[in-house]
Amino acid sequence: MDVRGPIQRTTEPTVTGTSVIGIKFNGGVVIAADTLGSYGSLAKHRSLQRLRTVGPHTLIGGSGDYSDFQYIIEQLDAELMEDVHFGDGKALQPREIHQYLGRLLYARRSKVDPLWNQLLVAGVGDKDKQVFLGQVDLYGSVYMDNTMASGFGAYIAQPLLRKAYRADLTEEEAVKVVKDCMRVLFYRDARSLNKIQIGVVTADRISISDPFELDTYWENPMFVNPSLTVKPV
Amino acid sequence: SAGMQADAITLQKNLRARLVWYEHQHGKTMSTPAIAQMLGNTLYYKRFFPYYTFNILAGLDNEGRGCVYSYDAIGSHERLAYGTSGSGSVLVQPTLDSQIARKNQVKGKEMPGVNTVDEAVDIIKDVLASAGERDIYTGDTVEIYIMTRDGFRTDVLRLRDD
């Protein structure tokens, strides 16, 4: 940073990711995001990885500016590397990563140079096996709940996820709910893509699927023949 | 703390830490009036980049009587019998002025006011239920903290899920 030059700060995001959604199930948590990086209204990057593993127990999904998301992943990987070097067998827990991100984003916001993201943090604790799902946004606000959705998902997917959530939800049911929500988001969010990834974390395993295409249905008569929506006078 | 969640979280974290410092340095728990002053100072410290929070501090004073302090975003505060803040405060404040203070009321002298803990909790529940009806920002659940010289307990009031 050149101290003689003008002050530089983030004023708007550049390449952005849309919704990330998540839901807890009995024994773990599922999150999902599409693989689109939008450049304003241009669907520029169609294979972005918006879900990442951070350590052995935590998944992070990033909405908002993709470069800021990459920076955050770098920072988190560095933090987790410290744990590895320390060598005491303990790693940062999902709840701790969530807290850390909350403070990081608040600090940047307080310098009026935000990291323009909404991040979903999902994971299962090491010793306590507690299932965790939380969100942090560019202001430094933090939320934890059984269902979570950022971006457009907050309007469309969140009500669907809340309706579907039960304490005894199985992994298959949770994955199905999430896929259905992503499909609805593809129908309704103009900055989304039907190529998605699903991440699952339980006490024993953590995985992010390869990107796959969601099947969509366009044969609804109203789509095929829009004049059907108009009643004859 | 009403207002911006990120600032409210940070402010409360900050105060909690300072409470621990005080106990180590002074060998006693911070009294409510002392915390009241500290909160005012903490807020004014950020006079030119405020904590976007509208706070109410409540507790028992050194004589064991209930006290309430109401704040603006930059630390101006006063001790009151009751206080409100946030988006629903415009709905709740007049009702409490009527039912608790009973100033300048036509039949003010005959009104019972609030005399016991249970009456106070009931009136809180009623006004928050009303606020929930009319204020779009008031949510679906209320947390109530009740502190008397006999101890501390919490209560939860569910409002309509809308």
Output the DSSP codes for B19-35.
HHHHHHHHSSPPPHHHH
Q: What is the pTM of this model?
A: 0.90
Q: Report which of A147, A94, A144, A111 is spatially closest to residue B9, judged by C-alpha positions.
A: A144
Minimum CA–CA partner of A106 in chain B: B6
Chain B hits for A110, Cβ within 8 Å: 49
Question: In 3-state terms, what secondary structure has residue A188?
Answer: helix
- Is residue A207 helix, strand or coil? strand
pLDDT tens, N- to C-terminus, chain A (233 residues): 566 778 788 889 999 999 999 999 999 999 999 999 999 999 999 999 999 999 889 999 999 999 999 999 999 999 999 989 999 988 899 999 999 999 999 999 999 999 999 999 999 998 888 999 999 999 999 999 999 999 999 999 999 999 999 999 999 999 999 999 999 999 999 999 999 999 999 999 999 999 999 999 989 888 788 887 777 76
Tokens of B100: 């608790």
B49 contacts A142? CB cut-off 8 A: no
The answer to whether A148 touches A165, Cβ cutoff 8 Å, is: no
Mean pLDDT across chain B: 94
Chain A contact present for B48, CB below 8 A: no
Q: Which residues of B touch A134 (CB under 8 A)?
A: none
Residue from A10, A16, A58, A229 carrying the catalytic annotation: A10
Question: In this complex, do A139 and B4 lie within 8 Å of one another by their Cβ atoms?
Answer: yes
- Residue A53 is among the residues annotated as catalytic for this protein: no
Q: How far B6 CA lies from chain A's nearest CA (Å)?
A: 4
Determine the Cα–Cα distance for residues A165 and A167; give it in Å rounded to an integer.
7
**CA-based angle A7:A11:A16, to the nearest 5?**
135
Distances (CA, A) of B158 to A128, A161, B138, B141, B143: 30, 21, 12, 5, 9
Helix axes B5-26, B32-45, angle to 10 degrees: 130
Chain A residues closer than 8 Å to B49 by CB? 110
